[in-house]
Structure 1
Amino acid sequence: MIDFTSQDLEQMANKGIAKEKVLDQINTFKEGIPFVDLQNAAVVGNGIYRFTKDEEEELIKLYETRLKNLEVLKFVPASGAASRMFKALFAFLDSYDPEKETLESYLGRTGNKDIQKLSDGLEHMPFYESVMKRLPKDFKNEGEKVYRFVAELLGADAMNYGFYPKGLLPFHKYGEHTATPFEEHLKESASYASSSNKAKLHFTISEQHEDMFKSELEKVGERVSNDTGVTYTVGYSFQKPSTDTIAVDMENKPFRNQDGTVLFRPGGHGALIENLNEQDADIIFIKNIDNVAVMNDAQAVADSKKVLAGILLKVQEQAFSYAEKLDKEDLSEEEITAIASFLETKLNVKFNDRFNELTKKEKVAFLKDKINRPIRVCGMVKNEGEPGGGPFWIKNSEGEVSLQIVESAQIDMNNAAQVEILKNATHFNPVDLVCGIRDYKGHKYDLMKFVDPKQGFITDKTKDGKELKALELPGLWNGAMAHWNTIFVEVPLVTFNPVKTVTDLLKDSHQV
């Protein structure tokens, strides 16, 4: 039994965290989180749809026809700091002295590929001219130039880009103008997430960056509106302190800071399910802040999103019709069979043999439970070596099989059979989701009821030189949406352009 002090309880109360919730988290550390049980990789023909050109055009037309009567929202997780994006550059500043070593020697000694790429493509970086204006014109050698460039870019008393949120860094250069991901998301939403010349976006950000985002909107909003003919409504929210999770020591006792307080840590992007739960719209597009392309690819990106929205509307219309019938409960056996077939073939709900043994009343109750759920349509791109969660059929602790987006950390890499299934994966998730969160009556679902708390992560960390264990909540598109009805659709690679390291900006998809 954990004995919390009055100071501990006050700390929890200030964060809005119940003592029982903390005890549950400590129990999770003790029990551990089981690996997922992979059944098969989801592939085209078994879990992933691939549409023909004609089918895509039909879905696009369906969405465009309905759009004027829909409330549409674009939800952008944007709280990521840029510090991880510049990790290799910070390492370079710490370990390179241009007065004592050539750049070639440093690269040979460290194998820092990002610095090699940066050196080779320096002039193609979107912020190249901004940085160079602040530097002297002459350099002794290439090593000094790169070093001074990086020092100016990241220095706390210089441009300080390492402090910036990733969403407000210059990503793309259009002539004299550079565009941030924030601006690109505004422009992009005009092409597929606007109705009656109005677009609504919501960004989840760090509270410390709120003024910076609002300033950026003031700076670019009017110009983007004039260019697109769209008026923007932009909202912001922060990850809630109540979603922080307790850290424990290696004996599963609360880890304490040097001042004696309990250490709580942010619960990861899975905490954002609470932010999403506060939104309401007919259709919600979800896309990460760093996944933006230059405007050359805007049409292909927009068409892909419309396809996903079209399939959502098409499936949702049938699901709503069946949900209404189920509420009346006066169904024939043929109707029950038709609804079960729809759930299995269109919403990927797996039925076990016990379903046929149920009474008619039990079947109706079962079907009601399965059909009255939020729906997510997820884009999947062919796996070409990029990191990212993948689509799989998994079995949960109740023996139910469902489609899920699974991260590699959730898979037991010591289990040869599970690794073999992992190797069979052909696609991965670019975080490209279109969501329907209302029932057939127009009421919004409580999304917190569809989370699988057993799909979180336990990770090893250190603080003040001491080892600790941290708990991440089920990921937003992983366990936080585990009990949604799920559809996977193959989308073109052009829709996936993440910037995980700064040198990703040198890829063709980010060059104008």
Structure 2
Amino acid sequence: MLNTVDLTLLEKKGIKPSEVQKQIDYFKQGFPWMKLDRAASIGNGIIHLSDADVDRYVKRFEEAKKTMSILKMVPASGAATRMFKSLFEHLSEAKPNKESSVFFDRLSEFAFAPELKKLLPEWSTEQEILENLLLSKGLDYGSLPKGLLSFHYYEDEVRTPLEEHLVEAVEYASDGKDAYLHFTVSPEHRSRFDALVTQVVPKLEKKFQVKFHISFSEQKPSTDTVAVDMDNNLFREADGSMLFRPAGHGALLENLNDLDADLIFIKNIDNVVPDKLKESTIVYKKALGGLLVEILDKIKVYTKLLEGEVSTSVLQEIQDFATTYLGILPGKAWDAHSQAEKLALFKMIFNRPTRICGVVKNTGEPGGGPFWCRDQEGNSTLQLVESAQVDMSNESQKAIFTESTHFNPVDLVCATKDVNGKSFDLLQYRDMSTGFITEKTKDGKKLKAQELPGLWNGAMAYWNTIFVEVPLDTFNPVKTVNDLLRPSHQN
């Protein structure tokens, strides 16, 4: 199946031939469905923080960050093409649609309007405006990543999402002197990100009296996956070479694995707000961080206890802690295990990465949510699950999925080191059977593509997981250009 040219290409990309065979096997066999036990809810897998809890955890975080290294990771690779889908349709069809009509009615309210105005001193036709906004002859917004677009207008400046993330990081990804951020970007836009950082960082450092340490990484070629035709044979280009495709955000697990910090916050590039609305986000980021610090302290205590004799009462205490704070609910067979087997399990649980995921009330946004899922041993663990992972032809599974009360806004704080401060190899804690298969086209031909387990889904399947309800006003994504007209993005 693989010829000498294929093998040379694989070696260049850092992919083992055995990995290609595994991917082809998944194309043939498909990925198994997740086994949903029930939707997580408040008091049953999701923690609700009282005002007093929030205050306490914020103080805990403020104290801890003096001695801990903290980093903020922002996936910022994707182009904003889908954000302008309705405008591209207007441009290609030369006629308005519902969304483009709203866009033109409120054009002056967008933060990028002044930049566009410089290109078109006198507003011209709608077609000319769209060409200058979307295409390379103008601002080229149709191909740029969201992180580089003008999102928010201030009296003295216009800010991109990258800048808003820097400003936000001053409050919780900083010890008051230094702020550390890491952005994953696509190779073709790396120079633009570098240029923007060079332009804005001196001004922000002067304003906030904080030194920014900003790093970038790109999705590794070794994480690309092969494509196959509809008969599961390798899809080949016109020149006979294998077709590779980026494997989705799950490929960024490799990038996360390279980062070194005691606490790592993860947040999507487009989920930012102007300064006047940042307080709720900052408070809850600190609260989640403080709760995680407290949980990590408990893990250290219990890890030490497990080194000696453990009484029945202490074992029950450890089990209760694991269920409440680590997302582990033993199944019916648990009672049949010996004490030695139970202790071995808890030693394993306390020696793996831990994450807190902020979740918001479900308002109908497309995407995944928090669930209790059954493993092969009958135990239940907390997982973030996407609809594509659920067998919707199974009525009971579909019913559980639709009963979800909360949604995943990608609001995580992670601890990727063990009790001794040694970094885990995160690749060892993913479930490779939770990938995705999608249908695409290339040169008019149908193909099947494969995505690695999602970064906050299967890529973190064997992490300790805690869900905490966060306010809905901390979730302000920009999926379409007109989302920038919402009050949460207007200044």
Identify the TM-score tier after normalising by the shorter chain.
Answer: over 0.9
Aligned twin of 1:368: 347
Aligned twin of 2:77: 79
> d(CA) in 1 for partners of 2:218 and 2:22?
24
Q: CA deviation at 1:136?
A: 4.9
| Structure 1 counterpart of 2:451, one-letter code | E
Aligned twin of 2:14: 16
2:240 to 248, 253, 260: 260
Matches within 5 A, 1:43-442: 43-96=41-94, 106-107=95-96, 112-137=97-122, 139=124, 144=125, 146-326=126-306, 328-442=307-421
Q: CA deviation at 1:324?
A: 2.2
**For the Cα contact (< 8 Å) 2:373–2:383, is it kept in 1?**
yes
Single out whichever of 346-355 and 185-194 deviates more from structure 2. Answer: 346-355
Q: CA deviation at 1:387?
A: 2.2
> d(CA) in 2 for partners of 1:325 and 1:46?
27
Q: CA deviation at 1:174?
A: 0.5
Q: CA deviation at 1:416?
A: 1.5
> d(CA) in 2 for partners of 1:13 and 1:508?
50
Q: CA deviation at 1:430?
A: 0.6
| Structure 1 counterpart of 2:233, one-letter code | K
Q: CA deviation at 1:193?
A: 1.2
**For the Cα contact (< 8 Å) 2:354–2:415, is it kept in 1?**
yes
Q: CA deviation at 1:343?
A: 0.9
> d(CA) in 2 for partners of 1:176 and 1:226?
15
Single out whichever of 412-421 and 303-312 deviates more from structure 2. Answer: 412-421
| Structure 2 counterpart of 1:248, one-letter code | V
Q: CA deviation at 1:196?
A: 3.6
> d(CA) in 2 for partners of 1:155 and 1:291?
25
User: CA offsets per residue over residues 467-490 of structure 1, 9 Å max, x none?
Assistant: 111100000000000110111011
Matches within 5 A, 1:464-503: 464-503=443-482
Q: CA deviation at 1:329?
A: 4.1
Q: CA deviation at 1:333?
A: 2.8
**For the Cα contact (< 8 Å) 2:170–2:176, is it kept in 1?**
no
Single out whichever of 469-478 and 204-213 deviates more from structure 2. Answer: 204-213
**For the Cα contact (< 8 Å) 1:283–1:436, is it kept in 2?**
yes
Cα separation, partners in 2 of 1:253 and 1:200, compared to 1, 3 Å: same
Q: CA deviation at 1:398?
A: 4.3
| Structure 2 counterpart of 1:479, one-letter code | G
Cα separation, partners in 2 of 1:64 and 1:350, compared to 1, 3 Å: same
**For the Cα contact (< 8 Å) 2:123–2:129, is it kept in 1?**
no
> d(CA) in 1 for partners of 2:431 and 2:478?
29
Percent pairwise identity? 47
SS in 1 for 2:482: helix
Structure 1, unpaired ranges of 5+: 97-105
**For the Cα contact (< 8 Å) 1:329–1:364, is it kept in 2?**
no
- Root-mean-square deviation (CA, aligned residues, Å) is 1.3
Aligned twin of 2:5: 7
> d(CA) in 1 for partners of 2:346 and 2:108?
59
TM-score (norm 2): 0.97
Structure 2, unpaired ranges of 5+: none
Aligned twin of 1:103: none
| Structure 1 counterpart of 2:320, one-letter code | S
> d(CA) in 1 for partners of 2:168 and 2:458?
28
Cα separation, partners in 2 of 1:252 and 1:399, compared to 1, 3 Å: farther
| Structure 2 counterpart of 1:5, one-letter code | N
- Residue 29 of structure 2 is aligned to residue 31 of structure 1: yes
- Residue 427 of structure 2 is aligned to residue 448 of structure 1: yes
Matched pairs, number: 491
Moved over 4 A (4+): none
TM-score (norm 1): 0.93
SS in 2 for 1:133: helix
SS in 1 for 2:31: coil
> d(CA) in 2 for partners of 1:215 and 1:197?
23
Q: CA deviation at 1:92?
A: 1.2
Q: CA deviation at 1:353?
A: 3.1
> d(CA) in 2 for partners of 1:360 and 1:465?
60
**For the Cα contact (< 8 Å) 1:192–1:302, is it kept in 2?**
yes
> d(CA) in 1 for partners of 2:451 and 2:378?
24
SS in 2 for 1:69: coil
Single out whichever of 317-326 and 374-383 deviates more from structure 2. Answer: 317-326
| Structure 1 counterpart of 2:50, one-letter code | T
| Structure 2 counterpart of 1:511, one-letter code | Q
Cα separation, partners in 2 of 1:329 and 1:469, compared to 1, 3 Å: farther
> d(CA) in 1 for partners of 2:398 and 2:55?
38
> d(CA) in 1 for partners of 2:121 and 2:167?
36
> d(CA) in 2 for partners of 1:115 and 1:137?
20
Single out whichever of 265-274 and 395-404 deviates more from structure 2. Answer: 395-404
Cα separation, partners in 2 of 1:24 and 1:58, compared to 1, 3 Å: same
